[in-house]
Structure 1
């Protein structure tokens, strides 16, 4: 296996310069299989009579109680293109789900074991965290043919602390390529700060500013092999395109924020009844 845990000075320098870092072979094939197998089981058990759609293009219109309550649950969200004009699934539920979130890391043992592992906590401490918590997790499917676009965004927009402190950890469960919808990022864009926030108030959820325009030429593709971990600075501008290929692009994503000297914004979309427990390196 490759480097897992404490980052080298060269890795830290690259992360601070680019705003992202790829750590190859972060997870073993056995870990990947365990997570994918457990998700297969959860999907088989899922009653798809509960319909909630996830979209980064129409977040305000599609955000509902199911989305809000997912902060402390294991909730299922469908792709926008999963349904026909009659409101029925075009194909099996296994090929129609966009993601499962947002508390897999707390509720499901297989995902909890990975999320609270020594290699994750050591990585966060390498990045300067003192009392990190994992605030959300997602299993992302990027389904073949219908896997939806994720528009350019910054993670700090959705998971804001004062001062900002979010880091995304994106684990490729399958190979991620340009063809099946890999991540794209603007290197160094984290140095320009946060451009807008996703706010929840009495009117629901909305952004406080319009999205800037970004040129495709500014983005760099991040193609990785299964088992690779992509570390994303909270202010890094990143996205992914639709998966128009015949191959899925499964990934497991967790987000950490600092609680030592940082305050969770009360107008974030996530409003938990029970505060998450900090993770510590052993």
Structure 2
């Protein structure tokens, strides 16, 4: 049986600390996932047809904040980040067919919190595999400091964040890419420094719906960001189950 935080949190934490990421399966029910996808149909980029990622949808509809309050997820994030946490940011990805994936990057490059104090929970709302745009992770790269980045040509922004592919982290040699397959309801836990990217969605009819939720350890500094406008918020009051 695979190790999970639910059944063996110490072993799961060791695996996360070794690789810089971890897949916690089936943390959210199918009903929760479908409810989030349905709510996304009222987000601005769904209404205008562009289906580009929506930054901080929890400020538009509290349904997108509810998963961050899931007690099981909060316990995991506390273990990963080393103490009580605050919510920092959400982002909804439609991942329509034809959408290009992200270039190699580290999430904390943008947030600038202390090493190990910031992390992401990437909730797969549909089954995700390389065909429809799964993550590509470089295990062990979270031990690196923040990497230098270099500008790259971005041939298309179809369905994608305009900033997704305009630069790329310069990863030292020796790290091997690993494609991450995740079932609906599973959460990919991502260390703030682990280098990762994503596949293009090459499918003909499979969206890659994902809700990204980021957390920061209470009391640490972070960068608010020009586009993200991050603002830490409480995730413990009226904790919801999912």
Asked if structure 1 preserves the Cα contact closer than 8 Å seen for 2:102 and 2:199, the reply is yes
1:97 to 44, 51, 61: 51
Tell me which residue corresponds to 1:34. 35
1:183 to 122, 132, 135: 135
1-structure distance, mates of 2:94, 2:81: 31
Shift in Å at residue 233 of structure 1? 0.3
Tell me which residue corresponds to 2:119. 167
2-structure distance, mates of 1:110, 1:118: 16
Asked if structure 1 preserves the Cα contact closer than 8 Å seen for 2:131 and 2:199, the reply is no
State how 1:56-71 maps to structure 2 within 5 Å.
Answer: none
Structure 1 segments of 4 or more deviating over 4 A? 2-7, 213-217
Matched, 1:253 2:208: no
1-structure distance, mates of 2:208, 2:168: 29
Q: Deviations over 1:85-132 (max 9, x none)?
A: xxxxxxxx1xx312111x223441211211222222222112244342
* Structure with the greater alpha carbon radius of gyration: 1
SS in structure 2 of the partner of residue 175 of structure 1? coil
Aligned residues: 220
Bigger relative contact order, structure 1 or 2 (CA pairs below 8 A, ≥6 apart): 2
Tell me which residue corresponds to 1:280. 236
1:116 to 62, 69, 76: 69
Matched, 1:239 2:205: no
Asked if structure 2 preserves the Cα contact closer than 8 Å seen for 1:169 and 1:253, the reply is yes
Instruction: From the two aligned structures, give the one with the greater helix fraction.
Output: 1
| TM-score, length-scaled by structure 1 | 0.68
Q: Deviations over 1:128-153 (max 9, x none)?
A: 44342222111111111x21220000
| TM-score, length-scaled by structure 2 | 0.79
2-structure distance, mates of 1:168, 1:183: 13
Tell me which residue corresponds to 2:154. none
Tell me which residue corresponds to 1:8. 9
Aligned CA distance change for structure 1 residues 216 and 45 (closer, same or farther; 3 Å) = same
2-structure distance, mates of 1:126, 1:167: 11
Tell me which residue corresponds to 1:19. 20
Tell me which residue corresponds to 1:127. 80
